[in-house]
């Protein structure tokens, strides 16, 4: 005679909602500071090796993402004024 199998544990919705998601830590590719939470932006690195193309999107902290975005927008505006 075999013993009955124990019931499978199924977490309730309350348990899932009350559990804090694990903190994710990143290192900003620009200033090298660590930060918790999702990156505010990312850089874009592209390089090739023969026929292979590789892309990397390193994380940026909020301050660096804002500064780089503002700098790029200003540079594009200046270039447009020089052309027009």
Q: What is residue 28's predicted lDDT score, i.e. its pLDDT? A: 95
Q: What is residue 46's predicted lDDT score, i.e. its pLDDT? A: 95
Q: What is residue 4's predicted lDDT score, i.e. its pLDDT? A: 64
Cα distance between residue 24 and residue 1, in whole Å: 49
Residue 56's contacts (CB-CB under 8 Å, 6 or more residues apart) are 44, 45, 46
Q: In the chain, how many H helices and how many E strands?
A: 2, 6
Q: What is residue 81's predicted lDDT score, i.e. its pLDDT? A: 84
What residue spans define the domains of the chain? 23-83
Spans of the chain, pLDDT less than 50: none
Question: Following DSSP, what letter does each residue of 28-64 receive, concatenated?
Answer: -TTT--EEESS-SEE--EEEEETTEEEEE--EE-HHH
* Tokens read off for 33: 């500071």
pTM attached to this predicted model = 0.62
């Amino acid at each position: 005679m075999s013993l009955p199998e124990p019931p499978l544990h199924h977490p309730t919705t309350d348990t899932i909602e009350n559990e804090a998601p694990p903190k994710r830590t990143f290192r900003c590719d620009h200033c090298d500071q660590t930060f918790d939470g999702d990156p505010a932006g990312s850089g874009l690195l592209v390089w090739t090796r023969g026929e292979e193309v590789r892309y990397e999107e390193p994380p940026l902290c909020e301050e660096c993402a804002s500064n780089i975005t503002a700098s790029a927008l200003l540079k594009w505006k200046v270039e447009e004024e020089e052309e027009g």
